[in-house]
Amino acid sequence: MTLSYKARRRLSLLILLVGLPLYIIVAVNLVAWLERPSILVELLVYVVLGIVWAIPFSFVFKGIGQADPEQKEP
């Protein structure tokens, strides 16, 4: 299933404005649940979680910063 350019832009906006803040809350609560580990472990957890969230959505964000390929040039 391929999404149109407009659908991918809308979905990426939804992910960034709603999904990412929720993911940050979950990540912070996960580290708090670990009962404040050492700073290096905490940093490692945040780095790993910061990379992992974007992997499933890479197809959505690919090419979003470019001009709409379906739009004709004037």
Q: Which has more pLDDT, 16 or 67?
A: 16
Write out the residue range of the structural domain in which residue 43 sits: 5-54
pLDDT tens digits along 7-61: 888 999 999 999 999 999 998 998 888 888 889 988 998 899 889 988 888 888 8
Whether 65 is in a domain gets the answer no
pLDDT tier for residue 1 given thresholds of 50, 70 and 90 = low
List, in order, residues 6 or more apart from 15 with CB less than 8 Å away: 57, 60
Other Cβ atoms less than 10 A from the Cβ of 60: the count is 19
Residue 7 has what pLDDT?
86
pLDDT tier for residue 73 given thresholds of 50, 70 and 90 = low
Whether 59 is in a domain gets the answer no
Mean predicted confidence (pLDDT) in 58-69:
81
Please report which residue ranges of 1-74 form alpha helices under DSSP H. Answer: 5-14, 20-33, 39-52, 58-61
Total domains, the chain: 1
